[in-house]
Structure 1
């Protein structure tokens, strides 16, 4: 039997949907329910918090980068043997990029495809009845979805709450809860979002505090009753991974500097028999010799550049590994494969030198958005000409591209001209592009 589900969304970013989602997940799990979390869009950090809050794996649903079949497989796996799915939207509920109907990257696409009603989190600071006008717009904007109710966030007083509730009554939307303005509910952040779950001090105490606050302010029985049945979708062939497995035994860097790997990608590799063998560059560990491919994920190497530069065992072992086996780096991993990384203080640190690129974090500039990449040569992610969907999200920049040919040619959904991206040299490849799935014709 498939679980019922809800999508927690908001009219805009910064409304508090992550903290409320985590509080709901934890509070419902403490009631004895089996809860699964999912995250809309390209986000590495929030699924790890969902997993900590629920005690069960989380994953991503991305209507732009994933095919209907892959979306169906991930949603079905999450809803299997689960009491409730509490999914979290990204940005604003309808924020999207140009694309075919249902494949725009909007959280609303996911609500429409899964059938899960939306609970709207509204930051009501600085407004009262006007919040209902915003909610009414969300209710009417997209006929594919249903708004089950609202949770008010950052309520200033009992009088403020009464006024906001009057507005919601006027438009016929139930108020499922109202949280006061409370700074302690804010989770710590850094330049790419929340500080990662594994690095958050007293994580479970924080999650319990969120659950306590949500349970005190939100009608959990009404939340459970608002959930809707999961609409079956055509699932992808279980033997086809979202991305080709780069090897049978994949050495994968995993520590505070290298952590951005999508759960569905790892699950897909394991499903076809690949084994993932973690190692820690920050602990000066080299890729294990009994592996036949190495994967350096994104993360925060710019915050650990000195430690990485001094990790002679890691760097030497990586260079030796790359002489005979493929090595691929995404975003932060790409930076470490290059000649040097300039940190926030302007100090250049020597990296692996397996690619000629030089990167810098000294002058931060955000690069964000979906990408479609066409591979320029045969490599661990497929043969030349293969198309991949994914995204970029980084503040580092290219200080010097170097002489290596590009890894891929990329475009964005907004009609950008094809542009070379990344680098390749012999068995080593890398780019700022985070791959989500092999592209399918639509």
Structure 2
């Protein structure tokens, strides 16, 4: 197959090393240098690709090593690389963190290795010096390691600290491609599911420019750009992600923003028309549509407004009387009877599913999932299995028995059934990827 572009993966030893900030800064700095850059995210992250898109001016995609089979993963990478000089992808968690299974475990290392993309390590230097190089050496020599093209060391405290770090890297074969000091410009506001969404930050453009300034000053941009590995052309297999309707009403605003770009692409390629509406603007699903999709997001931050938007809620109920409606995570909660905010105040929701949820009684639910549907759900038939994930802090406090799907975790361990179906309305915490 022909080479169509190059790519590399920015990864770290652990979460919290500054990987996202440096990825965004690097994407913008390389774009400013005249290169055509696109972004990608390893794993099921909705938020980071939004920042990549602002930094590069191009849509970013998810490269999920669990939900995508190898052929689809290669084709998605090829799709990202077309028309670009370099794909700068961001890893998830630590480089080797994923399911215990070696095949389709989802770790950033396995994604990079499958694509033939070298890794640039982001390493946090806080509290250490020469030992940072030892961490890099260990990551590079772990069994099954992808190619390590170099390292960027973050949170360097002083010139003396930088010299000590350089002395450590002089003893190993991994190039030190950047030594980035502690800098308040490498920070962005965050909340319980990660960074505040790109669409909510009015100052994001200026923040990213400042990040790019820091990266350009302290990293070897030319060496980083030259480190990319070849991306092979590959045709995208037909994604078995049937659209839930021919003309789909999709909620999209600050409360409902978690929708994968590849899902939108697959539905459009299948001939569906997507019609957007905003519950926060008190818009109801357009009546000319034949299905409605409520994605996840942050409805818990807008509960008073959503509960007061009678046009949205009444229109949603009227729509659901004759046409299918599906909600994922945040959308699932809004389809329920009530939603309790973090302060203990209860807000009435659509009342279309027998579900009461709470953010006052918080518990983290996180991980890959496999859902085998007990009934047709528009995008999948009864008995089919979808691959995806769950990530939320809310708790089901009152509910009827879950009947929508039989669930298993990413390693096929059985979990309790999940989701609900009443008439034409379905919903679950499960986010579908493939």
TM (norm. structure 1) is 0.96
Deviations along 1:313-367, one digit per CA (max 9) or x if unpaired, are 0001101111111100000000000000011111111100110111111122111
The answer to whether the 8 Å contact 1:375/1:386 transfers is yes
Match of 2:108 in 1: 107
Match of 2:16 in 1: 14
Give, in whole Å, the separation in 2 of the partners of 1:407 and 1:66: 23
Instruction: Give 1:231 shift.
Output: 4.1
Give, in whole Å, the separation in 1 of the partners of 2:419 and 2:302: 22
Residue 420 (structure 1) aligned to one of 405, 417, 420: 417
Going from structure 1 to structure 2, the CA distance change for 1:94 and 1:231 (only over 3 Å counts) comes to farther
Instruction: Give 1:381 shift.
Output: 2.2
Match of 2:41 in 1: 39
Instruction: Give 1:185 shift.
Output: 1.1
Secondary structure of 1:27's partner?
Answer: helix
Match of 1:440 in 2: none
Match of 2:387 in 1: 389
Instruction: Give 1:110 shift.
Output: 1.1
Deviations along 1:266-296, one digit per CA (max 9) or x if unpaired, are 1111111111111000110000001111000
Residue 290 (structure 1) aligned to one of 281, 288, 298: 288
Instruction: Give 1:70 shift.
Output: 1.9
Match of 1:340 in 2: 338
The answer to whether the 8 Å contact 2:78/2:232 transfers is no
Instruction: Give 1:406 shift.
Output: 1.6
The answer to whether the 8 Å contact 2:5/2:231 transfers is yes
Secondary structure of 2:311's partner?
Answer: helix
Match of 2:236 in 1: 236
Count the aligned residue pairs: 432
TM (norm. structure 2) is 0.97
Tell me the C-alpha RMSD between the 2 structures: 1.2
Match of 2:120 in 1: 119
Residue 91 (structure 1) aligned to one of 72, 93, 118: 93
Match of 1:304 in 2: 302
The answer to whether the 8 Å contact 2:293/2:325 transfers is yes
Give, in whole Å, the separation in 2 of the partners of 1:331 and 1:420: 15
The answer to whether the 8 Å contact 1:124/1:152 transfers is yes
The answer to whether the 8 Å contact 1:241/1:271 transfers is no
Moved over 3 A (4+): none
The answer to whether the 8 Å contact 2:338/2:347 transfers is yes
Instruction: Give 1:143 shift.
Output: 3.7
Instruction: Give 1:60 shift.
Output: 0.2
The answer to whether the 8 Å contact 2:368/2:388 transfers is yes
Structure 2 unaligned runs (5+)?
none
Secondary structure of 2:396's partner?
Answer: strand
Deviates more, 1:137-146 or 1:350-359: 137-146
Give, in whole Å, the separation in 2 of the partners of 1:63 and 1:143: 15
Give, in whole Å, the separation in 2 of the partners of 1:23 and 1:310: 40
Give, in whole Å, the separation in 2 of the partners of 1:144 and 1:236: 27
Structure 1 unaligned runs (5+)?
438-442
